[in-house]
Chain A
Amino acid sequence: MRKKRIHHEVKKEGLILTSIVDIALALVIGFIVALPFFFETGIFVSQPSVTKAAPGRETDVKVNILLTNDGNIVLNDERIISKESLTTLLPKLLARSVSKRVIVSSEEKVRYDDVVQILDLAKQSGAANLCLLRQRKK
């Protein structure tokens, strides 16, 4: 009579992959969510393309801001104001303006950061169009 073979059943212990797959999935989701933050943000500006403005009567409230080399802010070619008063004045002016356009120009030695801060302030105050004006050489 043949001997019966005794099989010792060895339970194979498998690795639980659920956690690894979970981590991979979490990384993918994290990556998808975080991707837009890698990109920088910005302010859209438009530069006037005409060299000579067409003559005509302007009835809209204008907001022209000039930054001078010595750090002064000149509003509408008239008066020097501080940044604090510009913060309060700008929303009032823009509320009355139809085009809601703010034109920012600067003298030669003005830092880029100072101009961007004014653009930022204008945008916060409700400006719809931001224009950078290049001053004509004297």
Chain B
Amino acid sequence: MKNKAVIDILPLACVGLLLVVMMIMTAPMVMSHNNTPVNVPQTNTAERKVEEDIIITLTKEGALYLNDQPINRSELEEKLEDLVDRDQYCLVVVRADKDVFHKEVLDLLAIAKQAGATRIACATKKKKG
């Protein structure tokens, strides 16, 4: 009787599955810059965005982050200008903690505007229920 050669696809399936699991776990971290923990305000009306953008995060303690990288206020203006120069229509999202003063958020909006950003948004979370 002739021996039939069979390709064992079990390891292939295992590797494929592993890759899928790894992709699921890493994709949100790679694709978004929302990893700095901030308690953003909750709203009923909110628009979902699915585009790569510039995220400015302001924590309750007053720490500033640009795309999850800590930054100080003077550096922010320069770096933001560079980023906006690359893509003038990019979306600048301000992720501020709900407990900060609104004045501080306005300062960030002004910096974004001065840097040349034309599309600015404030990050919120949709209320459940």
Contact = CB atoms under 8 A, between A and B. Distances in A.
Interface of A: 7, 9, 12, 14-15, 17, 20-21, 23-24, 27-28, 31, 35-36, 38-47, 49, 67, 106, 108-117, 119-120, 123-124, 132, 134
B76 interface: no
Contact of B49 (A21, A42, A134): A42
A112 B97 contact: yes
B63 interface: no
A116 B43 contact: yes
Contacts of B122: 42-43, 45, 116, 119
Interface residues of B, number: 50
B98 A111 contact: yes
Main secondary structure of the interface of A (DSSP, over half): mixed
Contacts of B119: 44
B46 A31 contact: no
Given A110-B101, A112-B97, A41 B106 contact: no
B119 to A, nearest CB: 7
Main secondary structure of the interface of B (DSSP, over half): mixed
5 contacts: A41-B47, A44-B121, A45-B122, A110-B101, A119-B122
Given A17-B13, A39-B34, A109 B101 contact: yes
Contacts of B103: 106, 108, 110
Given A17-B13, A112-B97, 6 more contacts: A20-B13, A31-B27, A42-B46, A47-B106, A120-B43, A123-B43
A46 B105 CA distance: 13
Contact of A123 (B45, B98, B126): B45
B102 to A, nearest CB: 5
Interface in B95-123: 95-106, 109-110, 113, 119-123
Contacts of B44: 120, 124
A103 to B, nearest CB: 13
A17 to B, nearest CB: 6
A44 B110 CA distance: 15
A114 to B, nearest CB: 7
